[in-house]
Structure 1
Amino acid sequence: MTESASARPTAPPFPKEERPIGHADTLIAMGGAFLAAAVLARLGGRIGLPTIPLFILAGILLGPHTPGVVIVHDPHDLEMLSALGLVLLLFYLGLEFHLDDLKAGGRRMALAGGLYLTLNVGAGLGFGFALGWGTSEALVLAGVLGISSSAIVTKVLVDTGRLGNPETRPILGIIVVEDVFLALYLAALQPILSGADSLSSAVLDGGKAFGFLLLLALAARFGTRVVSRLFHTRDDELLVISFLGAAVFVAGVSEWFGVADAIGAFMVGLMLGSTASGERILKLVHPLRDAFGAIFFFAFGLSIDPGDLPTVWVPVLLAVALTLAMNVLAGLGAARIYSFGPGPAANISTTLLARGEFALILATMAAAAGLDERLSPFIAGYVLLLAVLGPLAAGRSHRLARVLPSWTTGPRGGDGTGGGTMSPREQVPA
């Protein structure tokens, strides 16, 4: 005879000490982040503000570093959603950036990217030594000031409607060159910050990263037909699961090889964008990109403590001014290489202005290495200011174009536009 159900003791599904807790808090944090980003974006849209700084502001106001309502007490609660947002932003960018663009402009892309890095990384290194915080700190600042935010650049291009503009090709090319440099730079910087004195270890890490990038590039170049067959399906649900799984999986493998997860997602998008399913994937990923991209910028705001900023406001302002100057020079140089006029030169200069996720990675590495404690608030203030100024400047780049020299105009553009067309937003008079 068996015991009755009411008399039989019921064991909890987990021992008390192993029972999962905090699910409600995590769900509230996730839902609150989405809602806060939506409300601020809606309000900002009515007064003409770009969404990126508003998403960041929402993270600052509702995070643990400011008084009042706190939706997210621990920024790590949104870490995975934030990572997914970055992956989807760069995956979408890869879908838009076709292989033909890479093959057609490889030499000029390398020249423009190399010029951008030389100006900005060189200025960052010189600025770091001028501050006198130390050699390791100067190397960190070289990367902070030298590398654009791929996520913010992508969002700016989408928001301003410039994906079809001729100057978008060099902008995306510079991002690709930056990401290649980023993989090698991180591989070389890590042993320096950790105190390792083994050159062979740094070379091995750099070689591993470069080898994986080369493998991805070869797959994108020669594996399109195979990839097209693997992803071919009429079922939208199956297609979403397939491309999302591929983008996230390759992003994770990239991280393991020492390559930024974002560039892995970018390369997957590059491959899939050239397949027969590319147009469908572009439409299907669009809402996912917008939703999780908002969480990426919201989580970025969570990491910023406004109370630390007053101690470093002078170097922050100097660094921002230096970055503005270097970006204008780089934009003029890229326009010269591509035979563009002042309009596209201004678009290049302002679109690549923002700094973001890579600078935050360097801030984390610097803190773990025990470097100067002023680095973290400096990086936070610098990135926050440019994350706000970048989208604002990009939306008003026609004002910069008016003061740029006309000698940038090439043979394809007697009107000063380099033969390109302006988006409807750019045609609005000042």
Structure 2
Amino acid sequence: MGGAFLAAALLARLGGRIGLPTIPLFILAGILLGPHTPGIVLLSDPHELEMLSALGLVLLLFYLGLEFHLDDLKTGGRKMALAGGAYLTLNVGAGLAFGFALGWGTSEALVLAGVLGISSSAIVTKVLVDLGRIGNPETRPILGIIVVEDIFLALYLAALQPILSGADSLSAAVVDGGKAFGFLLLLALAARYGTRIVGRFVATRDDELLVISFLGAAVFVAGVSEWFGVADAIGAFMVGLMLGSTASGDRIRTLVHPLRDAFGAIFFFAFGLSIDPGDLPVVLWPVLAAVALTLVMNVLAGLAAARIHGFGPGPAANIATTLLARGEFALILATMAAGAGLDQRLSPFIAGYVLLLAVLGPLAAGRSPLLARLLPPGPRTPATPPAPARESVPTR
């Protein structure tokens, strides 16, 4: 673990001097020091960092919830639902069509629909923080799309589980989907009406007790969410949503920063450990085709979301590039597909696809003004002025 931190820090320092974002460098550190490349091997089994990696994802999404306000959901819920629906329709639909076009099988096509359709919440959060865009007006629809994706994710996994396990029981899929949806509804009601109670629970002048309280709440709810078939990330997000509106919200945002950054680095390092570069040449052309398709669909989805919110080409480019990366969910699907005995090409395809977009996504987000020049002009009405950012992060 110490070697993972030091390797990630060293590569990030070197890359920072030439303007590279930290995410692909953390992943590269995992690839170079993992079991699939020659030389020093810090960890022969990537699962040894599984719990720490999960904690990194939880903290990244918890922080995202702290920056997202209930007022945003109340005032822009309809637009967020439309933007999220448009994003999923374009990307999941394209992924399903691509899966059938490959001819690997129906189950494989259903898996690829999720792989190509769902963004990486962890990478999206890190990009927004690194580029100092938390306070930008287009960040609200970006976070709204992430929330819609997570809701879709719970229902999608519930429907996919019987297919991957070979079960033919429709009732089991309905029960799992209902359980996940019910828990999501419970979380939403708690976020809407339970903020005052949660605020009293964590209220303390002692920073040590405050850290233990919010960390325990985020991890506990994330674990319960996973038990109900809901992504652990969405549970942590909802806890952050509640705590961000309490009197302790500003202190929590300050105290969670070092935890978020440290364990977020472990998450991306562990992500790199799971990638075997030797498997990638077999699926190189399908991977490149899928990456190109995702680029096109994200640009179209960015334009659609910007039009719904009345934004111009600049915010549209930011939306398209920020949501481009694929990550943790795709790797979960790869593990499920391997366990179900699906086509052996599926796992290396997902690894190569995710690796390329994990690198291209942050790079493209940092150069989104270049894309904005190529997009059609937006509406003439001025967009909503940006909200003041709580965290001042220099743009790279």
- The structure 1 residue matched to 2:139, chosen from 163, 168, 175, is 168
RMSD: 1.5
- The structure 2 residue matched to 1:195, chosen from 166, 178, 199, is 166
Unpaired stretches in structure 1, ≥5 consecutive residues: 1-29
* Map 1:305-344 → 2, pairs under 5 A: 305-344=276-315
- The structure 2 residue matched to 1:89, chosen from 54, 60, 72, is 60
Residues 1:284 and 2:260 are matched in the alignment = no
- Provide the residue aligned with 1:294 in structure 2: 265
Alpha-carbon distance between aligned partners in 2 of 1:398 and 1:226, rounded to the nearest angstrom: 44
Alpha-carbon distance between aligned partners in 2 of 1:410 and 1:362, rounded to the nearest angstrom: 42
Q: CA deviation at 1:412?
A: 1.6
Task: Tell me whether 109-118 or 39-48 shows the greater mean CA deviation.
Answer: 39-48
Residues 1:179 and 2:150 are matched in the alignment = yes
Contact 1:49 1:392 in 2 (8 A): yes
- The structure 2 residue matched to 1:151, chosen from 113, 116, 122, is 122
Unpaired stretches in structure 2, ≥5 consecutive residues: none
Kindly, what percent of the aligned residue pairs are identical? Answer: 86
Structure 2 letter corresponding to 1:183: A
Contact 2:52 2:266 in 1 (8 A): yes
- The count of corresponding residues between Structure 1 and Structure 2 is 394
- The structure 2 residue matched to 1:391, chosen from 353, 362, 370, is 362
Higher relative contact order (CA 8 A, sep 6+): 2
Alignment CA distance shift 1:172-1:281 (3 Å):
same
Q: CA deviation at 1:427?
A: 8.8
Q: CA deviation at 1:183?
A: 0.3
- Provide the residue aligned with 1:265 in structure 2: 236
Alpha-carbon distance between aligned partners in 1 of 2:188 and 2:387, rounded to the nearest angstrom: 30
Larger Rg over CA atoms: 1
Contact 2:69 2:241 in 1 (8 A): yes
2:16 partner SS: helix
Alignment CA distance shift 1:95-1:314 (3 Å):
same
Structure 1 letter corresponding to 2:243: L
Contact 1:52 1:391 in 2 (8 A): yes
Residues 1:412 and 2:382 are matched in the alignment = yes
Q: CA deviation at 1:409?
A: 2.7
Alpha-carbon distance between aligned partners in 1 of 2:379 and 2:31, rounded to the nearest angstrom: 42
Alpha-carbon distance between aligned partners in 1 of 2:39 and 2:267, rounded to the nearest angstrom: 22
Q: Which runs of 4+ in 1 moved over 4 A?
A: 418-428
Alignment CA distance shift 1:419-1:280 (3 Å):
closer
Alpha-carbon distance between aligned partners in 1 of 2:36 and 2:313, rounded to the nearest angstrom: 42
Alpha-carbon distance between aligned partners in 1 of 2:385 and 2:375, rounded to the nearest angstrom: 17
Alignment CA distance shift 1:379-1:422 (3 Å):
farther
- Provide the residue aligned with 1:111 in structure 2: 82
Task: Tell me whether 290-299 or 66-75 shows the greater mean CA deviation.
Answer: 66-75
- Provide the residue aligned with 2:209 in structure 1: 238
Alpha-carbon distance between aligned partners in 1 of 2:319 and 2:58, rounded to the nearest angstrom: 23
What per-residue deviation string (whole Å, max 9, x for no partner) do you get for residues 364-383 of structure 1?
A: 00000000000000000000
Structure 2 letter corresponding to 1:232: A
Q: CA deviation at 1:79?
A: 0.7
Residues 1:33 and 2:9 are matched in the alignment = no
TM-score normalised to the size of structure 1? 0.90
Alpha-carbon distance between aligned partners in 1 of 2:75 and 2:25, rounded to the nearest angstrom: 37
2:15 partner SS: helix
2:336 partner SS: helix
What per-residue deviation string (whole Å, max 9, x for no partner) do you get for residues 114-172 of structure 1?
A: 00000000000000000000000000000000000000000000000000000000000
Structure 2 letter corresponding to 1:367: A
Contact 2:132 2:395 in 1 (8 A): no
TM-score normalised to the size of structure 2? 0.97
What per-residue deviation string (whole Å, max 9, x for no partner) do you get for residues 51-74 of structure 1?
A: 000000000000000001111111
- Provide the residue aligned with 1:4 in structure 2: none
- Provide the residue aligned with 1:140 in structure 2: 111
